[in-house]
Amino acid sequence: MTDPLGDMLARIKNALAAKKNKVEIPYSKLKIAVLKILKDHNLIEDIKVSGEGIKKKIIVYLKYDENGTPLIEDLIRVSKPGRRVYMGYRDFKKLRSGFGFRIVSTSRGIMTDVEARKRKLGGEIICEVR
């Protein structure tokens, strides 16, 4: 697999479209960091890690509103293995009038574009959450 992070985003989008309660994803530290940001913004219910060694998996519990509509409207992979996308902190503009955000990989770790702008850090745009 050439893009494990893109695979994770696709699995989450497919599970939301199918109205699933949870989705299993192969483990990596980068995926955990991205999922923690989604959990901090109350877009997913919970994250659990199961298994050991090579068979380690992340179980993501998805969140819906009262009507059964997913809280995550769309997850878009911006920086891909074939084309990396970087931005300086001055270039971070509001996404969807402040209702969306970007997840950025900076020299200080994975964070949202709002945090990166406050800390005056640029970096690689991992994905956009709408």
Residues 24, 50: one domain? yes
pLDDT digits (tens, 9 = 90+) for 45-65: 999 999 998 899 999 999 999
Range of the domain at 107: 75-129
Number of structural domains in the chain: 2
46 within a domain of the structure (yes/no): yes
pLDDT at 95 (0 to 100): 87
Residues 30, 58: one domain? yes
DSSP β-bridge partners for residue 61: 22, 46
Report the CATH number that the domain containing residue 54 is assigned in CATH: 3.30.1370.30
125 within a domain of the structure (yes/no): yes
69 within a domain of the structure (yes/no): no
- pTM more than 0.75: yes
Query: Dihedrals φ, ψ of 14, to 5°?
Result: -65, -40
Q: Are 37 and 113 in contact (CB under 8 A)?
A: no
Residues 52, 85: one domain? no
Residues 44, 84: one domain? no
Q: What is the mean pLDDT of each run of 10 residues along the chain (130 residues)?
A: 95 97 96 98 97 94 96 96 96 88 97 96 96
How far from the centroid of its chain's Cα atoms is residue 120's Cα?
21
Residues 114, 79: one domain? yes
Task: At 57, list the tokens.
Answer: 């998996």
11 within a domain of the structure (yes/no): yes
